Structure 1
Amino acid sequence: MLKGLGGLGQIGDMAKMMKAAQEMQDRLAAAQAGLDAITVEGQAGAGLVKVTASARGEIRSVRIDPSIFREEDREMVEDLILAAIRDASARAAEAMAAEMRKATEGLPLPPGMKLPF
């Protein structure tokens, strides 16, 4: 007579899943918005070249110690700038991953699932 009502529990489970998904989306949006406020600094050459970036990886500034401005050192300075940018990018990626872990903490995600997708 009411055979079709056995699936009502599944509807409730689906509603819970949808609510959890919406919460996760809200947390991720907030975390991503916060990434612009996080600043990381990469450096090379014992601090002679420093690069500042947001946790999203946007390079904001490059500072070069004036002591390394000699023409014969130009290639070395270019290499140091590149190394500092790579260091800042790696630190930005670490900061982003940490923020995403915080945003998804406690959510019922499958093991090994990485966000953002």
Structure 2
Amino acid sequence: MDMNSIMAQAQQMQQKMATIQEELKTKTATGTAGGGMVTVTANGKSEILSIEIEKEIITVDEKEMLQDLITAATNDALRKVKAIGKEEMAKLTGGMNIPGISNIFS
């Protein structure tokens, strides 16, 4: 392989990676806690889009439990979007572990 070919391949991979990162903005994952009492939706850029809370658990007495459920549901959603990102990057790299690319969603 000549240097021009290697540079062209690197540029193609960079363009594909930018496309994947844009597409991830449109992908969402939902995390839940407390048997669905708290639901959190995040996008592929790890941004929280919404939080839904069943009205039955909104009481002053249950403040700490509600905080724990929100935290758990948020972490669940973020784990799921991270998995989506890893899956998309694996498509780009063909499953190869390429330093700096493969570990973006680690």
Scaled to the shorter chain, the TM-score interval is 0.7 to 0.9
Residue equivalent to 1:67: 56
Q: Note if 1:112 corresponds to 2:101.
A: no
CA 1:89–1:45 in structure 2 vs 1: closer, same or farther (change >3 Å)? same
Q: Which runs of 5+ in 2 are unaligned?
A: none
RMSD over aligned Cα, in angstroms? 1.7
> When the two structures are superposed, what TM-score results if normalisation uses the length of structure 1?
0.80
Percent of aligned pairs sharing the same letter: 37
Greater Rg by CA: 1
Alpha-carbon distance, 1:100 to partner: 1.2
Q: Which runs of 5+ in 1 are unaligned?
A: 1-11
Aligned residue pairs total 102
> When the two structures are superposed, what TM-score results if normalisation uses the length of structure 2?
0.88
- Among candidates 77, 94, 97, match of residue 88 of structure 1: 77
Aligned-partner SS, 1:47: coil
Q: Deviations over 1:61-100 (max 9, x none)?
A: 0000111112211110010001111111111111111111
Structure 1's consecutive aligned runs of 4 or more residues displaced over 4 angstroms after TM superposition are: none
